[in-house]
Structure 1
């Protein structure tokens, strides 16, 4: 009997990153339900029933799918997990907040579906690319100050894995002390003029699924002297590409940040 035959056969993914990873591993047939916020891969929305939001889920519908495993993320889904556990469902809730923890989650999921070797190979390729990006960034004569905004009202700064990816890509997070705080409410910048004081040279907006509007940011009182505002260095990165702690952030998300940082360095070197 091989490892794949012992793996869960009916998996519900309450967030996007495990769905994307299972598709990359070629194990999408095991998925019987996904989050309604899933956009990666696009085909998942067409092939799989949507059974949850982020903070809520259709428990009866999940139970009807007869899952033998449910993947969730963080304490924010603790109530969903508890409701399913009380119904006898196996639930695995990951709580990855750093780049290293994302890789750990990916390895655990790959092993659970009998794809440990493929998982290791894919992880090694992602790690090698991150190392190459970091090497390019290390050669920059100047590193830009970067403000990454997860939400606009109130202003919320980057979570840990995003802050780490900004660093790998060649930028310096303006609020590194906030990045270590896992909860969004603890990363609120109470006085937006703190951003002005730190004078970021690049601003990334990724407003949790809401479209980033540079014109709205430019209009903030007192923000006109900020270097990024003055120089037009206001860039959107789609939430699905950077705020999901999974493959997307480690590939497309960091690549976008790196490309913008390198463009800035060429103009300001």
Structure 2
């Protein structure tokens, strides 16, 4: 592998469309300049914002012509991304990491907040495989829900459950509470999750109790995306989120002591969830 391949084949891409999903989130679509590129749901890109920073972004849309990611304004780079226009240029590297392994015929997908973004691509692929999908979309309030559109033909196999902590949209309650009810009422072969780590940790515990295969996408502070810097290393086995993840199976999560307990900031200092 040469240096360019190791770094994820950096390219400049032009934004071709921008969709404001809600008051906090924007989806940026850009030309896919690499027609032979393959993407697995759950993988991510390193996105370079000129003169600002480079940050990891989960892929929410992919085909041979275009790719896309959803950005929530939380820091300087994401704020700049949310103000870009069609025909502006950004840099990307990737895709990086390990994605979701599709398993079973009846599956539960649990997304919380901005964690719903990479689950959009996963859900579409699950539906194309004619799987029965129950999708939980959760958020603290209605204004931060990511309510993506799915094709009308796919909706025959898709049941969407919307919930908010404050009851401003859908069911009042947590995504984990909705999931607990569904698991009691239905049989699922697999559970896929992305969102706040405490939510995913609770889903992990529930899946282990019920004997259901589980996968979750973790987030850690990341600089390089390709396993060089080590800032996304986790205790105690040194698993790298950028290479070994970001998607981890239930069996792998059992070996990660910090899962659901703490993470490290940009200085490497432990911070509790």
Q: When the two structures are superposed, what TM-score results if normalisation uses the length of structure 1?
A: 0.32
- Rg larger in 1 or in 2? 1
Say which structure is richer in helix. 1
Say which structure is richer in strand. 2
Q: When the two structures are superposed, what TM-score results if normalisation uses the length of structure 2?
A: 0.31
